[in-house]
Amino acid sequence: MTRRLTLTQVFGLIVGLLLLVGVAGLVAGLLALARLGDRRDLLADRIDPAQVAALRLSSALLNEETGVRGYVLGGDDAFLAPYRSGREEEAAAVRQLEAFARHDALSDVRADLAMIVADAETWRGQYAEPAIAAVGADADPPPATAGRDRFQDVRGALGRLQQDLAGIRADAREALDATARFVVVLVGGGGLLLVAVIAVAALTLRRVVLLPLARLGTEVRAVAHGDFERPVGAAGPREIAALGEDVEAMRGRIVAEVAALRDAERALLEQARELQRSNEELEQFAYVASHDLQEPLRKVASFTQMLERRYKGQLDERADRYIAFAVDGAKRMQELINDLLEFSRVGRMTAPHERVDTAALVDEAKRRLATAIAETDAVVVADGLPAVTGDAGLLTAVFQNLISNAIKFRGDKPPRITIAAEREGRFWRFSVTDCGIGIEDEYAERIFVIFQRLHSRDAFEGTGIGLAMCRKIIEYHGGNIWLSPAAADRGAQFTFTLPAGDPEENPGP
């Protein structure tokens, strides 16, 4: 099995190939351009100027020959001016040609130039200079035919120079054109090669990176849409394969957790069914307690009270006390059954929730406790209470229980109960504060347990279900209730929250 490459290695190979092609193309292009420049420089800076210099040389030599011939025929010194200027032009043209002919491509020009110079010197030495001297001395000049023969050699050398320069220029032009065509082919071929390399790199990236990622993404999306049994794996570079292994491990954990959640859900459903059965049994118990138990209990209480009334004073003191115990027990049993029924009905047999004014609920609770309030000179202060959404009857029972407890567990002074509310985000926070005997912090949770009492029935009457009823009602409405820490001046403060319902709600006046 071949060793799996990493993404870094794959990208490194691709980038290296692109760089190699780019550098090779750049070097080849630079070399081709340099060669093209050399060809252009040879043609423009040497061959063409050499042709111009050759023409100047030819013109200068022709001027010399014309001047000598005119002087021989006319004997006028004015005819020597072209000869002398031609000598200067000849020297300048020769120097230029010698400079241009230093290039290897103009080696034939150097030979032609040497021949021209030699033939020109021969013509001047054997004819021109002797003819000028003879005319100046009024002697007979050398024969004209001799001058024409010597200058014909010069003409022949000039013709060969022109012919060689034309050939060299044609060769240089062809080389320049060939180099230009090579540059075009090189640029075009390099561009095509670069496109091909980029295409190969793109295909390689697609096959090695993109396709494995796409397959991995498809498998991950399938798992994300709930197909947890579909295995996840990925080929390709090491990083993608490692990612696939990590996703597969995560899928395995998800499958295990889903299985555990399903087991928990089955257990929860079973518990829900058990709870439903328990609720049905509780409802059945409530029905039995409200009908079957109440009737015999009322008979026991009724006949016991009749015994008390009819035979009071006719029996001994112990019998009267026993009968009083029976009557009191029957009454307490009736109170417990009634309170238990009320407790069991919370959340099951309630009115639809509606917008209620808690200040009105407090007034209703005070009306129900009017006798106790009057007997104890109690004062109930409730200001700025808001409106909430809930069951008016149940919430009234909360205020009634809390006010009743404050009156029941009063101290030496007349009870004073303060009810206040303040907004806390989505909830209203209510507090009911009294100046009674207070409750120790260690009993803060125990007092909300049904039938739990901190005092004996002889000290304070009641069934011990009131605060448990308050907690059940408040939690049924989506809030919480607790006993705030004891203050330095004793007394107790119960705090509970209720959802505001309306985010723009403000306390009433």
CATH of the domain at 18: 1.20.120.1730
Query: What pLDDT score does 347 carry?
Result: 58
Q: What is the pLDDT of residues 422-437, one digit of tens each?
A: 998 888 999 898 887 7
Q: What is the per-residue pLDDT for 498?
A: 92
Asked whether the predicted pLDDT for residue 111 surpasses 60, the reply is yes
Residue 450 belongs to a domain with what CATH number?
A: 3.30.565.10
- pLDDT (average), residues 119-147: 84
For the cut 80, the answer to whether the pLDDT of residue 210 exceeds it is no
Structure tokens at 495: 């705090």
| Residue 453 phi, psi (nearest 5) | -130, 145
In a domain, 327, yes or no: no
Cα distance between residue 263 and residue 117, in whole Å: 117
Residue 443 tokens read as 């009993």
DSSP state of 304: H
Phi then psi for residue 285, to 5 deg, are -65, -40
pLDDT at position 407 is 86
Question: 5 near 238, Cβ under 8 Å?
Answer: yes
Per the CB < 8 A criterion, the answer to whether 127 and 147 are in contact is: yes
Query: Please, what is the average pLDDT of the chain?
Result: 78
- Percentage of residues of the chain with pLDDT beyond 70: 80
Supply the pLDDT for residue 342: 61
Residue 66 belongs to what domain range? 7-213
> Across 134-288, where does the E strand assignment appear?
none
Q: Of 25-39, 84-98, 129-143, where does mean pLDDT reach its minimum?
A: 25-39
> CA of 304: how far to CAs of 218, 313, 334, 462, in Å?
82, 15, 14, 22
From the number of C-beta atoms within 10 Å of its C-beta (0-12, 13-18, 19+), residue 307 rates as: middle
pLDDT given for residue 429 in this prediction: 92
CB 220 within 8 A of CB 232: yes
pLDDT of residue 207: 74
In a domain, 173, yes or no: yes
Last residue of one domain, picked from the residues 213, 234, 257: 213
If pLDDT is split at 50, 70 and 90, which confidence band does 420 have?
Answer: very high
Element (H, E) at 130: helix 129-136
Q: Tally the domains of the chain.
A: 2
In a domain, 328, yes or no: no
pLDDT at 107: 81
d(CA 409, CA 434): 9
Is the model's pLDDT at 479 over the cut of 70?
Answer: yes
Q: Looking at residue 264, what is its pLDDT?
A: 87
Q: Is 378 within the bounds of a domain?
A: yes
What pLDDT, on the 0 to 100 scale, is given for residue 9? 74
Q: pTM for the complete prediction? A: 0.44
**Last-in-domain residue among 213, 228, 254:** 213
User: Which of 236, 231, 173 is CA-nearest to residue 205?
Assistant: 236
| Residues contacting 22, CB < 8 A, separation 6+ | 194
Helix (H, G, I), strand (E, B) or coil at 444: coil
- Quickly list H helices, 225-316: 238-288, 294-311
Greater confidence, 438 or 462? 438
**Residue 194 counted as domain residue:** yes
* Max mean pLDDT range (71-80, 145-154, 206-215, 356-365): 356-365
For residue 506, the model assigns a pLDDT of 47
Residue 481's beta-bridge partner residues? 496
Q: Is residue 254 part of a domain?
A: no
Task: Let me know: does 198 contact 25? Beta carbons within 8 Å.
Answer: no
Q: Would the pLDDT of 234 be above 70?
A: no
- CA torsion 353→355→358→363, rounded to 10°? -90
Judge whether residue 456 has pLDDT over 50.
no
Model confidence pLDDT, tens digit, residues 45-63 = 778 888 888 888 899 888 8
Distance of CA 478 to the CA centre of its chain: 38
Last residue of a domain, one of 165, 182, 213: 213
Q: Please, which pLDDT band fits residue 399 given cuts at 50, 70 and 90?
A: very high
Q: Give the least confident one: 24-28, 219-223, 390-394.
A: 219-223
Higher pLDDT among residues 440 and 373, named by residue: 373
Greatest Cα-to-Cα distance within the chain, rounded to the nearest angstrom: 207
Residue 363 has pLDDT above 90, yes or no: yes
Contact 397, 409 (CB under 8 A): no
| Chain centre to alpha carbon of residue 360 | 54
Q: How far apart are CA 261 and CA 465, in angstroms?
A: 38
314 found inside a domain: no
Q: Residue 195 domain-assigned?
A: yes
Percentage of residues in the chain having pLDDT higher than 90: 6
Tokens of 177: 């054109």
Backbone angles phi, psi at 153, to 5 degrees: -65, -40
